A and B are shown apart, each in its own frame.
Chain A
Amino acid sequence: MSDFILFDPLFRQPFVIGLLLSIALSLLGAYLRMREEWLAAMGLSHMAAAGGVAALPLGIPALAGALLAAALAAIAKGLLPKASNSHYGLMLLLGWAGAMILAANTHQGEVVGEALLRGQLYFTSTPHLIGSLALVAVLLFALSWLSPRLLAERFFPDHFSANRIPAWPHRLLFGALVVVAAVLGTLAMGAMSAFAMFFVPAWVAFVLVRGWRWALALTVALGVGCYLLAFVLSMLLDQPFGPTLTLCLAALALLRLFAHRAARVAGAPGE
């Protein structure tokens, strides 16, 4: 019976959407961790959830409301002289509180709010698929241009101003990709699961490999692997997908123990 549900054509589109999002979110999570902005994903996910709930009384689609709220939060962050995880933490608190209060005070808001915080992968539709495909396509296409700029800015913060090279194009593109990923991830997986997909694979992969390319490859492999496992487990055990995915990702943290053991043997740092 479970096998039948797993291969039901009804679940093919949600499966592909989740697969695409697990690639995009984990890959972007690696760059957020490199920039020490990993809490941005959590803040933006919750702002997206608040926007999705607020969209109901305004009569606009949840996707548009979520995108608008996350974009406004990202613009506000961009206006700060130096945004830090503390600002993203505040964004998270505002998003969570806003989503909860709006949900409690709007018609059907509680149901939608619950869905956004827990995720609704099985109810995703063609717009989600198109958005996820576009996100992955733009990300992979732009990565060879974007990656060296993000790395240069991380290690040599005034490289762009020193050479009179505008930094806004790569900052804008990266910010837009993170916002779209956070919104689509929140709508499909739920705010907490989306954050876990941004946060955990890179956190684990970075201590397991040597080299940036391998770190990116392992980050995506861990993200996709956890997604596949969670999709199957939630079907077979009849459990909600979002929390199952979050648990699978959290269990990945055990792999960090191998890295700490290897580091002790190697005598790092400085070797």
Chain B
Amino acid sequence: MSADTATTALLAVKEVVAGYAGPVVGPVSFDVYPGEVLGLRGPNGCGKSTLLKAITGEAKRFAGKIVRCNGLTVTHHQQRPELPPELPLLGRELLRVMGADRGDAPGIIKPLLYRPINRMSGGQFQLLEAWACLGGDAELVLLDEPTNNLDGEAIEALAHILRTARPPRAVLLVSHERAFLEENCTRIVEIGRPGEGQGS
């Protein structure tokens, strides 16, 4: 990494080994630049989600460094978000929490704005949460398996949202769906199983 790119990267992950009680993933290195959609691909259990949690500070970093640009704002759409069974929050109220209620929601989100989340399906709630992350002002959006629970129409809508992402925001996308990653990412990093390091 040159000195010039080092100053422009939103996030630099350098030889990071991360996990919880013990290491789960790494060593892994990659940079995330403004405007790109960077995919993380790897077999189940290789620690892709743990890596995202190490970036947000939820998982423990055993080695390496995570360098963030000053004042970087981050949102994290977690894998399989839990749908609270009896919470009457409207879709637009959830978006407001993340500053994503600016009236430019895509067509597939609009019917959900005035629906309580306890009247949504798991897929609708998942898509709404993804838009809550993508529709706000965060410079780096971490999406962990955002296509889980989504039908074909919703996956296509999510892909459209990713393709029309507003620069300079960057997206770090984890998915087990190879085709979705290849169609929507500007770059893909392979994550190996623990101890295997990473591919190119």
Contacts and interface: CB of A to CB of B under 8 A. Distances in A.
A16 interface: no
A173 to B, nearest CB: 18
Nearest to A205: B88
Given A158-B57, A269-B119, A269-B120, A210 B76 contact: no
A260 to B, nearest CB: 11
Contact of A212 (B75, B76, B89, B114): B89
B165 to A, nearest CB: 18
A161 B61 CA distance: 14
Interface of A: 33-34, 36, 148, 151-152, 154-159, 161-164, 203, 206-207, 209-215, 263, 266, 268-271
Nearest to B138: A163
Contact of A148 (B76, B86, B97, B120): B97
A206 B56 contact: no
Contacts of A209: 88
A161 B56 contact: yes
B86 A206 contact: yes
Contacts of B74: 162-163
B28 to A, nearest CB: 18
Interface residues of B, number: 34
A212 B98 contact: no
Contacts of B58: 157-158, 161
Interface of B: 53, 55-58, 73-76, 78, 81, 84, 86-90, 93-94, 96-98, 114-116, 118-121, 124, 129, 132-133, 142
26 contacts: A33-B86, A36-B84, A151-B94, A155-B81, A155-B94, A155-B132, A158-B53, A158-B56, A158-B58, A158-B78, A159-B75, A159-B76, A163-B73, A163-B74, A203-B86, A206-B86, A206-B87, A207-B88, A210-B90, A210-B115, A211-B88, A213-B93, A214-B88, A215-B88, A215-B89, A270-B119
A206 B89 CA distance: 9
B73 A270 contact: no
